[in-house]
Amino acid sequence: MIEPFKRPNIASVIAHWAAALAMILALYFGYGNGPRQEAFVAHAYAGLTVLGLVVVRLFLRTLLPWPEVESGGSRISRLVAESTHWTLYALMLLTPLTGWIVASEVGCTAVPRLPNIDRLGSSFSIGHPVSAMTYHVHVFLIWSLLALISLHVTAALFHHFVLRDTMLARMIPVLGQRAGSVSDHGRRSHDNQNHCRSGTR
C-alpha cells in the first residue's frame, strides 16, 4: 500500500531555504567579493542570519516533529542520516558563532559586538595569536560545513532519483505537490482494486 504523502510544517521549510540562501551569501561575501569593508560586514550579517534561523529551526523541530520519510532503509542508514542532520545543526551554530567572536575581537563597529564577551587579546588585529586561532577555527568549521552540506545534497538527490522516496519532494513545493498527487492516485488505484476484487466475489 502506498503511504500518504507527509509534508513538514511550512515554517520549517521556509527556515530551511532561508538559511541555505543566507549561507550562500555568507560564502560569497566571505571570499572578498566587493569592497573589503562592505564584504566583511555583509558576510558577518549573513552569518548572523544563519545563526538566528538555525535557532528558529531547532525550536520548530522541537515543537513540531519532523515527519519520517516513507521509504525503506536499514537502521544504520537512518542513524547516519539523523547524526548528519544534528551535526549540520551544530556546525551551523558554531560556524557563525566563531565568526561573531572574530568580528568582536577585531572591533568591527558595523557588526553588533557579542554580548558579555571581552576581546580575548589586547590587539584589534586578526594577527593577534588568540584572534588568529579563533579565525582559523572559523575557517575550519566553514570547510567542515561545506563538506557536510555536499554530503547532505548528494543524499537528497540519491533519495529522489534512486530510492524514489519523498524526502526531497516534500522540501520543494512543486515536487511536493507532484508527489502528493502521485500518492493520492496510488491510494485511489489501490482502493479501486480492492473494490473490484470484493465485487467479483
- Convert the pLDDT of each residue in 54-107 to its tens digit: 999 999 988 887 776 655 567 887 888 889 999 999 999 999 999 998 888 777
CA distances from 85 to 19, 41, 82, 168, 170 (A): 14, 29, 5, 14, 16
Asked if pLDDT for residue 53 goes beyond 80, the answer is: yes
Please give the domain boundaries of the chain with CATH numbers for all domains: 10-199 (1.20.950.20)
Average pLDDT over residues 178-201: 48
pLDDT at 186: 43
Among 88, 83, 92, residue whose Cα is nearest residue 55:
92
CA dihedral 37, 41, 47, 50 (to 10 degrees): -150
Phi, psi angles (nearest 5°) of residue 83:
-65, -40
Model pLDDT for residues 16-46, shown as the tens digit of each residue = 999 999 999 999 999 876 678 889 999 999 9
Rounded Cα distance, 193 and 46, in Å: 53
Among 75, 81, 78, 125, residue whose Cα is nearest residue 105:
125
pLDDT at 87: 96
Rounded Cα distance, 104 and 39, in Å: 16
122-131, 136-145, 146-155, 160-169: the lowest-pLDDT one: 122-131
pLDDT at 4: 46
Rounded Cα distance, 135 and 129, in Å: 10
Rounded Cα distance, 25 and 47, in Å: 9
Percentage with pLDDT > 70 across the chain: 72
Average pLDDT over residues 177-187: 48
